[in-house]
Amino acid sequence: MSVAHEHGGNVFAAARSLGIPPDRIIDFSASINPLGMAPGVREALAGCFERLLHYPDKGAAELKEQLAAYHAVDAGEIAVANGSTELIHLLPRVVRGRRGLIVAPAFAEYAFALERSGWEVDYFTLRADDGFALSLPALQEKVAAGCDMLFLCNPANPTGALLPTRDIRAIIEMCDRSGTFLVLDEAFIDFCEAESAKQLIRQCQRGILLRSMTKFFAIPGLRLGYAIAARETIEAIAALQDPWSVNTAAQVAGIASLKDADYCRRTREYIDRERERFAAGLAQLPGVKVFPGRANYLLVQLRDGMTAGELRERLVPEGVLIRDCGNFQGLDGRFFRVAVRRREENEVLLELLRSKTRI
């Protein structure tokens, strides 16, 4: 895999290089719920072994019904997939077009998916000096110049910036006027669920909402994601999906996760509280700028001295991983992203940054 398509979360490679068990790595490079999976998920998985003797439910009917109830939408407006990345790679085959526009910095898989399907890729790049603010008039001008598909992540990855619902509504209307298909990636919106545009996007004939159960529900190893869209779009996706792309264990874990409302509440309260405390600690370091965000991670810029890559290499021997963001469109080697983890783990990183890295 080329540098442009690298991701965070490779704890196994780091553990092998250090000769230690993976559970001794503190992974700030992957933004996973620090509270772990919902308590009922372990029990549900332990009880599903007999179901593994059969093929998975091809249509994931029970999971779709649970998702429909959770989001107050119709089950026919939901597509379940092997992570939202499967959906990202299917969409250039679902939508007729040749030119995709990506609001950047952004997840590298958007461009990768477009390129492998023969699409042209263009970027609408937001600037760090402007706090990664998105100008609707400037985006309107770019979209009107011609694009068949627009990728937008909210909250943005890796910046954490959140667009208000009124701006999302304006972008939906903008795309409707231009005949542009909108891909709204809400992979991290669970941490601020009230801001989701799910009720807006389901009424849009040229748009789709992507969601992930990897981050908030802490089951990245099971690969589970889904989409919310108009029935016609969901049916077009289903026609292209591989059979049994979502395994039985993933379906069982997804259902159990959605049933635990208390876990969802505790997660949001914890992340809101700890993100603020963690950001304040990072901001006290000399030569560092921390960007405000609404997800479970923070984007940090090094003002002088070492690069993010050099910092990452200094931290690996300590069993700590961060996400060097130098390969994101619109960012350079001074940026890195850190997940909001448990308080004691966040303190470990802060202490390392204070005493060992001398940034």
pLDDT in tens, 309-332: 999 999 999 999 999 999 999 999
Question: Is residue 117 predicted with pLDDT exceeding 80?
Answer: yes
Cα–Cα dist 92/258, whole Å:
29
User: What is the token pair recorded at 200?
Assistant: 């807006």
pLDDT in tens, 73-99: 999 999 999 999 999 999 999 999 999
pLDDT in tens, 332-349: 999 999 999 999 999 999
Three-class SS state of 60: coil
pLDDT of residue 11: 86
List, in order of start, the domains of the chain with CATH numbers.
Answer: 3-30+262-355 (3.90.1150.10), 39-259 (3.40.640.10)
Contact 337, 298 (CB under 8 A): yes
Cα–Cα dist 232/238, whole Å:
10
Task: Kindly list the distances between the CA atom of residue 132 and the CA atoms of 269, 340, 348, in Å, as whole numbers in the listed order.
Answer: 25, 20, 29
Contact 330, 320 (CB under 8 A): no
pTM of the model: 0.95
Quote the percentage of the chain above a pLDDT of 70.
96
Contact 201, 211 (CB under 8 A): no
For the chain, the C-alpha Rg in angstroms (whole number) is: 20
pLDDT in tens, 122-172: 999 999 999 999 999 999 999 999 999 999 999 999 999 999 999 999 999
Three-class SS state of 84: helix
Question: Is residue 103 predicted with pLDDT exceeding 70?
Answer: yes
> Which has the minimum average pLDDT: 225-229, 283-287, 296-300?
283-287
pLDDT of residue 223: 96
pLDDT of residue 10: 82
Rounded to the nearest integer, the mean pLDDT of the chain is 94
Nearest to 249 by CA among 216, 223, 228: 223
Residue 304's pLDDT band (cuts 50, 70, 90): confident
> How would DSSP label each residue in 96-152?
--SEEEEEES--THHHHHHHHTT-EEEEEE--GGGTT---HHHHHHHHHT--SEEEE
The average pLDDT across 56-62 equals 94
